[in-house]
Amino acid sequence: MQVQTPAADPEAETWVAAENDRTAEGYQAYLDAYPQGRYAVAARIKLKGLQKPATPAAAPQAPTSEAAAAPGAECALTTIGKTWLGQLDAAIARRDATAIIAVFAPEAAVRATVRGADGKMTPVDIRREEFVRSTIVAMKGLEDYKQRRVWTEGKAVDPASGAACDRISLRSLVVEQGRQSRKPYRFESLEEYVLELRAGKWLAVKAETTQQ
């Protein structure tokens, strides 16, 4: 989703996310995005140290919405967020307007900060229906479209409230590339959402995107 909010340094954020995660997947994600980046040498060293043979373990199953909301259940906030983003990304790739709308709450608003011809960034607030229409129109003009999420992080909106499994603050750095009007393009966008669990389904009640 190509929308924007003021952002700092996407490479540094990706590196900090990898350092916090401390997994081979996290360091590899940084190297995929920034193979010649400022932290590439450190990332390769740490990645090599993590790639030692280990006893295979069963992959954990993503919790269902019901399980995540159950009293006393551990909230896998990032996993829930990745599952929701997977639904959104798949719907966008299929150009499925109905499926895109289905993951947003009726009152959801999207803030898109767009870059004008003069290079200035201008914030634009739109409703979910306008966002869906503009996304479908934009996708129709793309060829060889590919998208991947470099990192994703989910946190409780208000941990002190004890409702961590009902409301999630989600951030994700996504890279989109392909061809538009026969010309190659590549975007990095920092996406931020607030998700709420409603009747067993996660819906976005707020969305902001910053194109890097």
Rounded to whole angstroms, how far apart are CA atoms 104 and 100? 7
Pairing between β-strand 104-115 and β-strand 201-211 as defined by DSSP bridges: parallel
Strand partners, 187: 176
Rounded to whole angstroms, how far apart are CA atoms 104 and 37? 35
Two tokens, residue 106: 């009726």
User: Would the pTM of this model clear 0.85, i.e. be above it?
Assistant: no
CATH value of 62-211 in 1.10.150.20, 3.40.50.300, 3.40.50.1820, 3.10.450.50: 3.10.450.50
Rounded to whole angstroms, how far apart are CA atoms 33 and 187? 11
Rounded to whole angstroms, how far apart are CA atoms 168 and 86? 16
Q: Are 151 and 44 in contact (CB under 8 A)?
A: no
Nearest to 97 by CA among 88, 106, 105: 88
Two tokens, residue 167: 């409301």
Q: Quick: pLDDT tens for 70-121.
A: 333 357 899 999 999 999 999 988 889 999 999 999 999 899 877 666 778 7
Q: Quick: pLDDT tens for 123-159.
A: 889 888 998 998 888 888 788 888 889 999 999 887 6
State the angle between helix axes of 24-33 and 10-21 in degrees (0 to 180), rounded to the nearest 10.
160
Phi, psi (deg, nearest 5) at residue 186: -150, 130
Pairing between β-strand 183-198 and β-strand 104-115 as defined by DSSP bridges: unpaired
Residue with tokens 């390769």: 44
